[in-house]
Amino acid sequence: MTKEKNEMSLAKLREALISKAESEKNKIEKLTEEKVAVIKAENQKKVDDILERANTEAEKIIAEKASKVEALASVESRIDKLKIKHSFIEDAINSARTKLENETAESKLKRYVELFPELKDGKYIITPAEGETNIIKDLINNSSNKDQLELGEEGSFRGGFIVANEDFVYDRSYRTIFREKETELRKLASETLFKEAK
């Protein structure tokens, strides 16, 4: 191929990828809205906040990764493409996790209130993430169940908390949340960033 044909092919591919990314963004928004409709019956406020954050993060990730997708078009080897794709997906997931881990204490407290489980009778120990003892103290002090709650030692994890008693363990550490959602997050990132142009 000549240089001009390569440049034309790359330009067409770039346009197709950007168009496809927008299309995928719309599909993601539609899929998110459908899933949210089911959850809304349980707690409208939580759903609205989560949907807003999901849409904002999806738009940011698409914008940040669009230039990286253009670079992918010039890679000749399928193996190299797969390595780059994997790197982008990991980067997007790690970036989202880092953003959550580095939120302000006030933002974390609000998120933890949303994540806090309904408690039955009995005493519960809350294990805070590294460096988050004060946030969990505030969570306990502002809880209607504070007489049931006891602050435990900090865990060896970043972000989130674990609530437990002898019959119950509720792990809302960020590592567990991301592990539980890993397949879904990888699929979403892959579909958003790398859908083949048709």
Whether 192 is in a domain gets the answer no
Q: Judge if 41 and 121 occupy the same domain.
A: no
Name the nearest CA neighbour of 93 among 25, 193, 179, 185.
Answer: 185
Q: Evaluate if residue 147 carries a pLDDT over 70.
A: yes
Task: Say how far apart CA 189 and CA 117 lie, in whole Å.
Answer: 29
Question: Could you read off the pLDDT of 164-190 as tens digits, one per residue?
Answer: 998 889 999 998 988 888 888 888 878
Q: Give the tens place of pLDDT for each residue, 47-58.
A: 466 657 756 776
Residue 136 lies in a domain: yes
Residues 99 and 133 in one domain: no
Structural domain that includes position 161 = 117-171
Percent of the chain clearing pLDDT 70 (strictly above): 80
- Residue 190 located in a structural domain: no
Rounded to an integer, the average pLDDT of 144-152 is 91
44-73 vs 78-101: helix crossing angle, rounded to 10: 150
Q: Is residue 179 part of a domain?
A: no
pLDDT recorded at residue 1: 53
Q: Is residue 90 part of a domain?
A: yes
